Amino acid sequence: MRNPAGIVGKLIALTAVVMSLYHIYYRLVPSFNLPIAPGLVIRIGPVDSLVLRDIHLLFSLVLVFFLYPLRKGAGNRIPVYDLIFAALSVIVTGYLLVRYEYVVTRFATVHPLEPADFAMATLAILLVLEATRRTIGLALPITALVFIAYGFLGPYLPGFLNHRGMTLELMLDQTYLTTEGIFGIPLGVSATYVILFVIFGAFLEKSGAGQFFMNFANALMGRSRGGPGKVAVVSSSLFGTISGSAVANVMVDGWLTIPMMKRTGFKPESAAAIEATASTGGQIMPPVMGAAAFVMAEFVGKPYSQIALHAAIPAVLYYLALFAAIHFEAIKTGLRGLSREEVPPILGVLRRQGHLLVPVVVLFILLVQGYTASYAALVATAAVIVLSWLRKESRITPAKAVEALQEGAVNTLPVAMATACAGIIIGIILQTGLALKFTSFLLSAAGGTLIPVLAITMVAGLILGMGMPTTPAYIVQAALLAPAIERLGVDRTAAHMFIFYYACLSAVSPPVALAVYAAASIGHADLWKAGLQAMKFAAAGFIVPFFFVFNPELLMMGDPAQILRATLTSTIGSVMLAAGLQGYLLRPANLLERALFVAGALLLIDPGLTTDVIGVVLVFLGVLLQRLRPVPARAVEPKGD
C-alpha cells in the first residue's frame, strides 16, 4: 500500500477522514437536500440505501486507486493513470447521485438504457473489478468474470447450467442501476455496519487496548502450564473485537506470542498453529465477529445481536477445545509457563488499563438489549473516547482521533471492494436463476440426503476461502448452497451459520491457509506441519457445525432446559475431544483410550439424550482405563524457566 508524503498524503488522509465522518453522520443526522445548480439537487444523508451505498463506493474506489498501486512495489508516487481511475470513479458514482430521480423511477431491466447508462455501467464494473484485484487479489475478480461469462453463455451450456442467456444491456442494468448488483445487500452491510465497527476498533487501538488485551491475557494465564499458548488464546479472542480479521490478529499478536511460546518450549509449528487458530476464532467470537456475520444478519433477516447470540456457544466450544488442547500438550511435553518476573500482576493491569475494557462491555450490553449494531458501535466508540481520558497514556487526543478516523476508512476498503464485487456475482445468480437450478441439482446428486449436501458445502467453503476473504466466500455460498440446505428442513439461521463457519476456517485449512502463512512466517515454522497442527487445534470448529445443524440448541434455539443440557455436555465433549486428539488426559493416552475419548466427545457434542448417555459411558471407560494403568516410572521434566 502506498504511503504518499506531503500535500498528496494529507489530501488522501483528509479524504479518508471525511469518509468516516460521513458514515458517522449518516447514522446520527437526518437527511437534507444540497442544491448545487438551478434544478440540480443532490440528496445528502440517509435518504435510501442506494445513496449510502453509492457514496460508500465513491470514497472506497477513490481511496483504493490512491493507496493501492497497480502492482506491488510500485512506490509511493501516484501515477497519472491512477488519478484518471480515481476521477472516473467519481464520475460513475456521481452519475447515480445527479440522476437519482431517473434511477429510482425507471423500471429496472425493462426500460432501455441510455447511451450514458451503458458507458457508466461498463466503467463501474471495470473499476470495481480492478479495485478488488488491488485490495484482495485475483480470485474474486476472476470468479466474477466467470459468472459474467456464464450469464452470456447460458443458451450454449449443458444440463442445469443452461438458461436463456443475458444480453449485455440486461447485465449492465442489473449490475449498476439496481440494488441487486454492485449496490446490493453486501455493499450495504459494509456501508451501514462494517465501517462503524472498524472505526470503533481503530479508536480502541489508539487508546492502547491492544496492549491491554495482551497484558491482561499475560497476567491471567502467563504462569500456568503452556502459559504463552493460553495467552495467545485469550488475547486473540479479545483482539478480534478490534480487527475481525484472522491475518490481522496474527500480525499483531503473533510477533509477541509466537516467540514467547517458542522460548518456553513450544515447537515452532505448534506455536504458529496455536496463534493462527486463536486468531481465526476472532471472526466467530461475539460480540464483534467478522464482516460476514453482518452480511449473514441481512440475509437471514435477523438483527446482528441475535446472530451474535446464536454464535456464542459454538465460539466458546471452539476456544475451550483449543485451550484444553494447549493445556494437555503442555503437560504431555513438560512445558512450564512464564516466570514471575515476566508476568504483570493482574490487579496492576486492571488498575492501570482496566477502563479500556469498558467500551467492549458497553457494546455487548447494547447489543444484548436489542439496539442496532450501528448504534451500539457509535456509542461504544464514544465510550472509548471519554474513558481514554482517565489515564494520560490512553488519551485519545484530537490528533489520535483523526488518525483513528483515517485508519477506520482505510481498513474498510478491502471489505467494501469485496462486497461490491460479490454483488456482481449475486446479480448474475438472480438474473439467471442459478440458485434454484443449483439447489435442484445438488439435492438430486445427494439423493435428497442432508449429510452429503453438508459435506459438499463444507468443502466448497474451504476451497472458496482459500482464494478470497471470508465475506465474499460466505456470500457466494449463501446464494448457491444455503437454499439446498434449507430445502432439506434445516433452520435458515443454522444453514447460514454452517456456511459462515467453514468460510472462516479456511484461514487454517491447507494448502492455502492465510492465517497459518502469516504465523509460520513469524515463527519460522514448516507451513504444512503448522497447517496440519492448526486443523487439529481447530477440530471443534470443523465438527460442531454439523451438530448444530441437526440440533439448534447449540445455537441457543429451543427450550432453555435443553439448551443448558446441550451446553454442559458439549463443553465436556470439547475438552474430551482435545484430550483424544492430543493423546493426554490424566496421563499419556494409548490408542484405545484416545478412541474412547474422541468417540465419547462426538457423542457428547451431539445434544441428544441417547448420545449423551453413550458418550458419558465411553468417556468414563477411557478415564477408568487411564486410572487403572500403572503410572510411568519417570515423569517428563518440565521445559522452560
**pLDDT for 194-224, tens place per residue?**
999 999 989 998 999 888 888 898 898 888 8
Task: Render the burial of 425-437: b for 16+ CB within 10 Å, e for the rest.
Answer: bbbbbbbbebbeb
CB distance 15 to 62 below 8 Å: yes
Among 291-295, 341-345, 511-515, 628-632, which is the least confidently predicted range?
628-632
Residue range 123-139: average pLDDT?
95
Closest Cα partner for 11 from 62, 52, 85, 75? 62
How far, in Å, are 233, 570, 575 from residue 316 at the CA level? 11, 10, 11
Which of 309, 304, 289, 287 minimizes the C-alpha distance to 558? Answer: 309
Going by pLDDT thresholds of 50, 70 and 90, the confidence category of residue 273 is very high
Alpha-carbon distance 39 to 457, whole Å? Answer: 53
> Rg of the chain over CA atoms, in angstroms?
26
In angstroms, the CA 376 to CA 297 distance is 15
* Average pLDDT value for the chain: 89
Residues 78-113: tens digit of each pLDDT = 999 999 999 999 999 999 999 988 998 889 888 899
Identify the band that residue 441 occupies on the pLDDT scale cut at 50, 70 and 90. Answer: confident
Parallel, antiparallel, or unpaired for β 32-37 and 40-44?
antiparallel
Task: Look up residue 480 and give its three cell numbers.
Answer: 448457491
User: Which pLDDT tens digit goes with each residue over 168-189?
Assistant: 999 999 999 999 999 999 999 9
165, HSE (Cβ side, Cα atoms, 13 Å): 9
Q: According to DSSP H, which parts of 468-584 are helical?
A: 470-480, 482-487, 492-505, 514-523, 527-537, 539-550, 560-582
Q: What are phi and psi of 462, to 5 degrees?
A: -65, -40
Cell representation of residue 514: 492465510
Most confident of 251-255, 281-285, 310-314: 310-314
Cα 172 from Cα 428, distance rounded (Å): 10
Please, which pLDDT band fits residue 242 given cuts at 50, 70 and 90? low
End-to-end CA separation in angstroms for the chain: 41
Least confident of 108-112, 145-149, 269-273, 629-633: 629-633
Residue 32 has pLDDT above 60, yes or no: no
Neighbours of 188 (CB within 10 A): 22
Q: How far apart are CA 531 and CA 239, in angstroms?
A: 22
Q: Examine the pLDDT at 635 and tell me if it is beyond 50.
A: no
Is 550 in contact with 606 (CB distance < 8 Å)? yes
